[in-house]
Structure 1
Amino acid sequence: MRAVSYTRFGPADKVLELTRLDTPSPAAGEVLVRVAFSGVNPSDAKARAGARPGVTKPAFDRIIPHSDGSGVIDAVGDGVDPARVGQPVWIWNGQWQRAFGTAADHIALPADQAVPLPEGVSLEAGATLGIPGLTAAQTVFGGGEVAGKTLLVSGGAGAVGHDAVQLAKWAGATVIATCAASGIDRVRAAGADHAFDYSDPDLAAKINDASGGQGVDRAVEVEFGANAALLAEVMKPLGTIAAYGSGKDMTPRIPFGAFLFKALKIDVTLIYILHAPERQAAIARLHRALGEGALRPSIHAIYPLDACAAAQDTTMTPGRAGAVLLDLR
């Protein structure tokens, strides 16, 4: 099979190589998926670059990157219903703590990590549901129903944020989103009741006005460190900050007094290690929203497999409007 892989850390165009490897066979409890689209995420680019603290070399001799993807089941291992052969699926955690991910013609993985694709949902959309989709669903719904609540989504034009805006609006929340000025119209079109430029010097006042002076019940936060002071100003007492990123400041300084006297909760989300019941609930939310036409994952660009390096670089480019995919068909 064709595969893109790397054996050392470094720039994408220096260490990613297109090669041919043996097609894997599904072990007991596994399925073999013929990959149609591989989802490329910033976490894949950071892992390949060796950007994770304390990690000095790849965990395996050769790594095929990417955890997200979609395709069709070609074969099943012992203990898996043979009727699944030919079933369209989407994939989560394809390369999490494993050597071989979805940047290849085939991937063998545990059967429950190949989720049946709902009828009418494209393979392209399916390849976005692993990291962006599940993160959006968990950060929006991880504290329960949001109908009648006010949610703040930072980075509302990004792959996760754009999904989160749609999901929160579908569920009956008042949605306030922040993004770059260039993304405001797109974020409003996704369902945000209010969209503001994140660099606006009056941002806190505008968010408070948009909440009717009541404050934000739940924040979906992509840059916790950079926005901690803002959150202290705009959150409602007893509110929750569902933080899934802090790339600009990985050692945040928290205005603890302000957080304390509002009794704010920080709910850090790492979708890779979500407990099974929570993951199943998030999957069910995504499928319902897709089925009702309330969620339309945005795709920024699709590259061929041999342009994997460019695809990974694109995921790290500011202003990206949606997911990045590899087309392996």
Structure 2
Amino acid sequence: MQAVVVRDFGGPEVLELVEVGRPVAGPGRVRVRVEAAGVNPVDALTRSGALAGAGLMGRREVTGIGWEVAGVVDAVGPGVEGFVPGQRVVGLRDRLDVDLGAYAQFVVLDAQALAPAPAGVGFAQAATLPLNGLTAVQALNLLELPAGASVLVTGAAGAVGGFAVQLAALRGLRVVALAAAEDEELVRALGARWFVPRTAGDVAAAVRELVPGGVDGAVDAARLGVAALGAVRGRGVFAAVAGGSEPVGLRGIRVVNVWVSADGPALARLSALAADGRLTLRVAATLPLQDAARAHERLARGGLRGRLVLVP
């Protein structure tokens, strides 16, 4: 089968399409025929060596690329229940220390990292759900805000931010969305009550004009760090989506990091919301697997609304 791997860290040109043996579904594991794989910033950080440099992964002879997948169950290992060959699924590969990732024709995942794919949704759209949807829901879980509380979502038009806005609104939270001016209509449609353009010179002041005293919590998908911390009230809570972007918890603010992890039951709930049309799945473009380098070049230019998706 074909897969995209990295042997030497660097730019998009180091992504290598190789022929490898089809992986085996061992005990508790499921082999998925990949129909679509999402392209995410973490893939670029893995490829470039940034994660290895930060001590989040060791150097390896071969590193697999790709975290999120939508496809069809091809084989199940001993002890697997709830999944059968031919079933449409989505899943998250949350380990960095593996030879093969989701950029492949087949991938093997732990059964608990999988969930049924959203009914009535194409594979490309479904592939945008696992990583970003789970990041958003795990961030909101860490905030522990009750219905009626206020929350700031930075990067609200992005993949994680968009899910965070919708999921927060579904929880009854009052959302302040920070995004580009041209995205105001989009984020309001996703459920934001208030909008702040990211060109606002003082984000904290702009948010506090809308919510006197500051918001109860924040999901910092845009990695603004301390610039967004000032929008949170004293003894509020702040969720940093990316490691290294978390500010010091001044004024008694509880600062938490979101280190996303595979969670089949939570992913199944997200999948059901997507099937019901309550979560919006956005695809910026699809490309063939052999164009992974071109996808990373496009990702680096930024400005995407939705995820790029590779189709084997």
What TM-score do you get using the length of structure 2 for normalisation?
A: 0.90
For residues 250-292 of structure 1, give each alpha carbon's deviation from its aligned partner in whole angstroms, at most 9, with x where no partner exists: 47764x6xx23xx2100111103x7xxxx45643542353244
How far apart are the structure 2 equivalents of 1:40 and 1:194?
Answer: 30
How far is 1:92 from its partner?
0.7
How far is 1:102 from its partner?
0.9
- Show the counterpart of 1:312: 296
How far apart are the structure 2 equivalents of 1:218 and 1:18?
Answer: 43
How far apart are the structure 2 equivalents of 1:54 and 1:26?
Answer: 31
- Show the counterpart of 1:48: 47
Q: What is the RMSD of the two structures over their aligned residues, measured on CA atoms?
A: 2.4
Query: 2:7–2:62: 8 Å Cα contact kept in structure 1?
Result: yes
SS in 1 for 2:229: helix
Unaligned 5+ runs, structure 2? none
**Counterparts in 2 of 1:269-308, with a 5 A limit?**
269-272=258-261, 279=263, 282-283=266-267, 285-308=269-292
- Show the counterpart of 2:254: 265
**Aligned-pair identity (%):** 33
Does the alignment pair 1:228 with 2:226? yes
Query: 2:25–2:75: 8 Å Cα contact kept in structure 1?
Result: yes
Change (3 A) 1:23 1:206: same
Change (3 A) 1:185 1:229: same
Query: 2:220–2:228: 8 Å Cα contact kept in structure 1?
Result: no
What TM-score do you get using the length of structure 1 for normalisation?
A: 0.86
Of 82-91 and 147-156, deviating more is 82-91
How far is 1:197 from its partner?
1.5
- Show the counterpart of 1:131: 131
**Counterparts in 2 of 1:26-175, with a 5 A limit?**
26-52=25-51, 53-54=53-54, 59-81=59-81, 84-93=84-93, 95-144=95-144, 146-175=146-175
How far apart are the structure 1 equivalents of 2:139 and 2:55?
Answer: 27
SS in 2 for 1:220: strand
Change (3 A) 1:108 1:83: closer
Of 319-328 and 135-144, deviating more is 135-144
How far apart are the structure 2 equivalents of 1:38 and 1:280?
Answer: 17
How far apart are the structure 2 equivalents of 1:94 and 1:56?
Answer: 12
Question: Which aligned runs of 4 or more in structure 1 are off by greater than 3 angstroms?
Answer: 54-59, 143-146, 250-254, 279-282
Unaligned 5+ runs, structure 1? none
Query: 1:64–1:95: 8 Å Cα contact kept in structure 2?
Result: no
For residues 131-184 of structure 1, give each alpha carbon's deviation from its aligned partner in whole angstroms, at most 9, with x where no partner exists: 211011111233335421111000111110011111111221111111123322
SS in 2 for 1:188: helix
How far is 1:80 from its partner?
2.1
